[in-house]
Structure 1
């Protein structure tokens, strides 16, 4: 399983939010590029970068700094937040981003999802964020009536081949992952899943590994920033170590 250290960017700084709330922000680094290099030095194989300003405003606000991150590291970078047009998708991919994560557009503009997947489905990740089993959009501020499984199945018909799933209630809380949700997803869909939200211990990582290879990755943020464990320890656990 791949460990994705998270770099969430708000106002040009690396932050973490509690349950996605913009009134619950903690700054961890004023320089996202420096943070990317730190994760690289710690053994990161991938980075997961989110433009939080973009997620809220509906259009990218930190493309320049994300492009600098891509230039600064020699590992793949996955980017989400405010990606609502093919122009933005193409700009990120042209800049060297390996995968883009689509969120709100999964619900509001499925035709864009289909177009993006038609160009290269391996570069597209469906980023589904849910609260109580229902999908949330617009930077988690708006709920929908879409159930997670129903939406995933619809997206697979559009060409989606990878899912990043976040349990909003646990994100940034360090209360542990929603193991049951990931196990259920893995049992009912047949595409790779990247888990996100709530990782608090190495046991959370090994629990996800135990589900099987379909859970191909885990995004970890605050637990790393708060030094609950180190990145090398997380990577070892994800590979089946202690």
Structure 2
């Protein structure tokens, strides 16, 4: 299992949100560059980055900064937020980003997912963000009528190999991931599942490894000090899938 420390970008700053609420944005590092460097020093292989402004505005906003932070970090990087067309996908992949995450597009423009997977294969990840099991879009501001398992199966059918699943009610809460929903997802599709939201302590990493998820995204827990990134990475190495 891979540990993916996270940097969420809003107004050019590294921030964290509570349950996806933009009004709760709190700066968590002196700069995105410093955060990325600390991840690399702890032994991380992957980093998860999100353009929060892009997610809300449905376009690339902090893309230049994200690409530069990724390049300077030397880490493998996946990026989400505001990626709504092939130009945006190509922008990131042509600048050394390893995977791009399509979130709202998976709900509202499945053809984009199909086209992107056809052209870029496993570099395309789908982000499924759910509240009470129902998918949200547009920076978690829009409701949908699609259950997260149903959407995951649709994505599997069009060739998506990796899914980032976020339970919005757990995100930024440090109350532990939604193991029940994650277990159901892992057992419903063959895709690699990356768990996002709620990770607080090493026990959460162990629990996720026991579910056979591909990866775990950790943000607030690292910044607040409840999770030692280096220890989490060591534990995860014994549970590679």
Question: SS state of the match for residue 160, structure 1?
Answer: coil
| Number of aligned residue pairs | 239
**Corresponding position: 1:67 with 2:96:** no
In the alignment, what sits opposite 2:227? Answer: 229
Superposition TM-score, scaled by structure 2 size: 0.97
User: For the Cα contact (< 8 Å) 1:70–1:95, is it kept in 2?
Assistant: no
User: For the Cα contact (< 8 Å) 1:54–1:60, is it kept in 2?
Assistant: yes
Equivalences for residues 101-140 of structure 1 within 5 A: 101-140=101-140
User: For the Cα contact (< 8 Å) 2:122–2:161, is it kept in 1?
Assistant: yes
Superposition TM-score, scaled by structure 1 size: 0.96
1:128-186 CA-to-partner distances (Å, cap 9, x unmatched) read 00000000001001111101111111112222111100000000000111111111111
Shift of 1:71: 1.8
Question: SS state of the match for residue 188, structure 1?
Answer: coil
Shift of 1:191: 1.0
User: For the Cα contact (< 8 Å) 1:33–1:65, is it kept in 2?
Assistant: no
Q: Which moved more, 1:97-106 or 1:177-186?
A: 177-186
Shift of 1:53: 0.4
Q: Give unmatched runs, 5+ long, in structure 2.
A: none
Distance across 2 between alignment mates of 1:187 and 1:67: 34
Question: SS state of the match for residue 3, structure 2?
Answer: strand
Equivalences for residues 8-19 of structure 1 within 5 A: 8-19=8-19
In the alignment, what sits opposite 2:215? Answer: 217
Distance across 1 between alignment mates of 2:237 and 2:13: 31
In the alignment, what sits opposite 2:94? Answer: 94
Equivalences for residues 122-161 of structure 1 within 5 A: 122-161=122-161
Q: Give unmatched runs, 5+ long, in structure 1.
A: none
Following superposition, which runs of at least 4 residues in structure 1 exceed 2 angstroms of deviation? none
Distance across 1 between alignment mates of 2:183 and 2:19: 22
User: For the Cα contact (< 8 Å) 2:156–2:189, is it kept in 1?
Assistant: no
Shift of 1:127: 0.2
Distance across 2 between alignment mates of 1:229 and 1:164: 20
In the alignment, what sits opposite 1:181? Answer: 181
In the alignment, what sits opposite 1:6? Answer: 6
Q: Which moved more, 1:216-225 or 1:182-191?
A: 182-191
User: For the Cα contact (< 8 Å) 2:156–2:190, is it kept in 1?
Assistant: no
1:103-139 CA-to-partner distances (Å, cap 9, x unmatched) read 0000111111100000122100110000000000010
User: For the Cα contact (< 8 Å) 2:153–2:188, is it kept in 1?
Assistant: no
Distance across 1 between alignment mates of 2:196 and 2:71: 25
**Corresponding position: 1:25 with 2:21:** no
Distance across 2 between alignment mates of 1:147 and 1:29: 35
